């Protein structure tokens, strides 16, 4: 039986889950800012014990690949790669935006609607993509500076559901009646594991040695200005 460990660290909320096939056995989530560095190993250890999973029982590790928090992604991917190296098991990567789209779809009844998963990229910028109800890509992943007209070409014709933390900043800007917001949706390791099992079954694995998170933008370190 396939048993997978899933790690989600792309936002300020950190979660991990154990799946057998596509069924979740147990999971944990910590809603504390910047918790991945200190808490990821703790919750992994906890769910391994809760599910009576020995390391040798793992068939692979699933991790969100980005975009998202630079630090969170780095910690999640480094942890996943370390486990895969140690146990000689496959690494499976899932786009954070694809994960959000899957989660949001469960709350949407209109099959003609478009889905726009969004992550906050600071100021008035978001990481986003647009997909149809069947999750076919309409507009590719990008870093987008939003304004009142950013998605009017879609909103004029159909409902558009803006999903995830990035949608929060859009509520006050998008006034079109077709704009709907599911900004309470956060990436989670439970649906991540189900998506990861599909890739595991298809043997869509990453190269553990060379895989890097999809940051989308370069991480900038700003030096403090002198007074």
Which tens digit of pLDDT belongs to each residue from 51-61? 999 999 999 99
Per-residue confidence band for 32, with pLDDT thresholds at 50, 70 and 90: confident
Least confident of 29-38, 142-151, 193-202: 29-38
pTM of the full predicted structure?
A: 0.93
Q: Using only the alpha carbons of the chain, give its radius of gyration.
A: 18
Structure tokens at 75: 């910690």
* pLDDT score recorded for residue 226: 47
Classify 108-182 by CATH class.
alpha beta
- Of 137, 12, 130, the closest CA to residue 69 belongs to 12
Instruction: State the pLDDT confidence band at 31, using cuts at 50, 70 and 90.
Output: confident
Peptide bond into 67 cis (omega under 30): yes
Q: What is the pLDDT of residue 217?
A: 73
Structure tokens at 62: 């699933």
167, 181 contact by CB (below 8 A): yes
Residues of each domain in the chain carrying CATH 3.30.420.40: 3-95+187-201
Q: Could you report the per-residue pLDDT of 101-154, keeping only the tens digit for each?
A: 999 999 999 999 999 999 999 889 999 999 999 999 999 999 999 999 999 999
Tokens linked to 134: 């069947």
Burial class (CB in 10 A: 0-12, 13-18, 19+), 216: middle
What would the CATH number be for the domain defined by 3-95+187-201?
3.30.420.40
Please classify residue 211 by burial: count the beta carbons closer than 10 Å to its beta carbon, then call 0-12 exposed, 13-18 middle and 19+ buried.
middle
Residue with tokens 């700003």, as numbered in its chain: 222
């Amino acid at each position: 039986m396939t048993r997978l460990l899933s790690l989600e660290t792309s936002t300020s909320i950190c979660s991990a889950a154990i799946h057998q096939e596509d069924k979740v056995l147990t999971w944990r989530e910590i809603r504390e800012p910047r918790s991945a560095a200190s808490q990821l190993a703790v919750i992994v250890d906890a769910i391994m014990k809760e599910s009576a999973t020995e390391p040798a029982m793992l068939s692979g590790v699933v991790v969100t690949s980005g975009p998202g928090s630079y630090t969170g992604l780095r910690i999640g991917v480094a942890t996943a790669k370390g486990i895969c190296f140690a146990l000689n098991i496959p690494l499976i990567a899932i786009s954070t935006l694809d994960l959000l789209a899957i989660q949001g779809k469960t709350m949407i009844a209109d099959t003609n609607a478009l889905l726009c998963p969004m992550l906050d990229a600071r100021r008035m910028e978001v990481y986003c993509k647009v997909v149809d109800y069947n999750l076919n890509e309409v507009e590719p992943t990008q870093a987008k500076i939003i304004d009142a007209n950013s998605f009017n070409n879609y909103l004029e014709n159909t409902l558009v559901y803006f999903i995830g933390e990035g949608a929060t900043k859009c509520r006050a800007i998008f006034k079109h009646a077709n704009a709907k917001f599911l900004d309470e949706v956060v990436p989670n390791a439970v649906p991540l594991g189900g998506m990861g099992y599909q890739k595991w079954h298809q043997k869509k694995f990453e190269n553990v040695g060379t895989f890097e998170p999809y940051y989308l933008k370069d991480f900038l370190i700003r030096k403090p200005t002198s007074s």
